[in-house]
Structure 1
Amino acid sequence: MPATSLDTTDAIELAELLQFIADWLAADPARLAPSLLDHVGHPAYGLDALRADLERFTFLLGGSDGEDLFGQP
Structure 2
Amino acid sequence: MPSVNLDIGDAAELVELFQFVHDWLATEADHVDESLSSFVGNRAYDTRQLRNDLNRFTLLLGGSDGEVLFGPGSE
Please say whether Structure 1 and Structure 2 have the same fold, judged by a TM-score greater than 0.5. yes
Partner of 1:3: 3
Unaligned runs of 5+ in 1: none
Partner of 1:63: 63
Identity of aligned residues (%): 56
Q: How many residues align?
A: 72
Q: Report Cα offsets for 1:13-49 as digits up to 9, x if no partner.
A: 1011001101100011110111111111101111111
Q: State the SS of the aligned residue for 1:50.
A: helix
Q: Over aligned residue pairs, what C-alpha RMSD do you find?
A: 1.0
Unaligned runs of 5+ in 2: none
Letter matched to residue 56 of structure 1: R
Runs of 4+ in 1 over 3 A off after TM superposition: none
Distance 2:40 2:2 in 1: 30
Matched, 1:15 2:15: yes
Distance 1:65 1:20 in 2: 17
Distance 2:2 2:70 in 1: 30
Task: Give the TM-score, by structure 2 length.
Answer: 0.88
Structural mapping, 1:16-31, within 5 Å: 16-31=16-31
Distance 1:66 1:59 in 2: 6
Task: Give the TM-score, by structure 1 length.
Answer: 0.91
Matched, 1:42 2:45: no
Distance 1:6 1:68 in 2: 24
